[in-house]
Structure formats: structure tokens, C-alpha cells
Amino acid sequence: MDLVKEAKAQIENLLPVQVQEELASEGTILIDIREAEELTQNGKIEGSVHAPRGMLEFYADSTLPYHKKEFDKNKRIILHCASGGRSALAAQTLKQMGYHNVAHLDGGLKAWKEAGLPTVN
């Protein structure tokens, strides 16, 4: 947990309502880094792009054949996971890879649901 705490000190931590507001803006991408089975079991935030944590660096590196177009250094990227630990580490990783407009949903999908915000299956 020390790594997560350290990561959170170096990245932008957003509340669910802040993420919801940003998603209304064009150019904001929400990346869900949970595993596929977590999406099936717990639903997802509508419009989010699935990129499991284990593939993040491969999807984010534009020089690799695995690159996903959603990983665009010119766009606002917000990451989330189940409770915020993995997404904090992932946001820190993207910053190290040259992504400057990156944040994460502090508290993850759990905080999103606790705020009464909708999910889809």
C-alpha cells in the first residue's frame, strides 16, 4: 500500500462527481483497467474503454502493434479500477510514459457506485 500512497501523492485524484463532469467534455477518455471478469461481475461505467492493467503499457505505447487509439497523449485520460489502487499506479505509469493530462478515479468503481452514479452491464 506504500506504493499506492506514493503514487497518489504524484498524480491527480478525482472524486466521482468530478469524473462525471469531465466525461461530459469532448476529448476525455475513461479507461477501465479491471480484469474482464470484474466487468462481467460488477458492471462498468458507460462509455469506458477496457484496458486491463497487465496490458496498459502495451496499449499506451504508440510504437507497438498492441497500441489502442484511445491512448492519445493529446486527450484527457482518466483511469479507474475497483477501488483506486491499481488505477493510481497506472496513472503514475502513464505519466512516466509521457502522458501529461492523466488522472484517476479515487476510490474506483466502488466510490462511483457509493456516489449513486450509474453503471451498465
CATH number at residue 44: 3.40.250.10
Cell numbers 484496458 correspond to what residue? 51
What pLDDT sits at residue 1?
A: 81
Q: pLDDT tens digits, residue range 22-77? A: 999 888 999 999 999 999 999 999 999 999 999 999 999 999 999 999 999 999 99
Q: Is residue 121 part of a domain?
A: no
Distance CA 73, CA 64 (A): 15
Flag whether 93 is in a domain: yes
Question: Is 12 contained in some domain?
Answer: yes
Alpha helices, H only, 11-84: 16-23, 36-42, 56-60
Give the contacts of 35 (CB within 8 A, at least 6 positions apart): 52, 53
Q: Looking at residue 8, what is its pLDDT?
A: 97
Residue 62 forms part of a structural domain: yes
Provide the grid cell at 81: 479500477
Task: Determine, yes or no, domain membership for 120.
Answer: no
**The whole model's pTM is what?**
0.95
- How many domains would you assign to the chain? 1
The values of phi and psi at residue 32, to 5°, are -95, 115
User: Residue 106's domain spans which residues?
Assistant: 2-114
- Give me the percent of the chain exceeding a pLDDT of 90: 96
Q: Is position 48 within any domain?
A: yes
Is there a domain that residue 107 lies in? Answer: yes
What confidence category does residue 109 fall into, taking pLDDT thresholds of 50, 70 and 90?
very high
d(CA 68, CA 4): 25
Residue 119 lies in a domain: no
Largest alpha-carbon pair distance within the chain? 39
Contact 104, 30 (CB under 8 A): no
Measure the CA–CA gap between 46 and 89, rounded to whole angstroms: 23
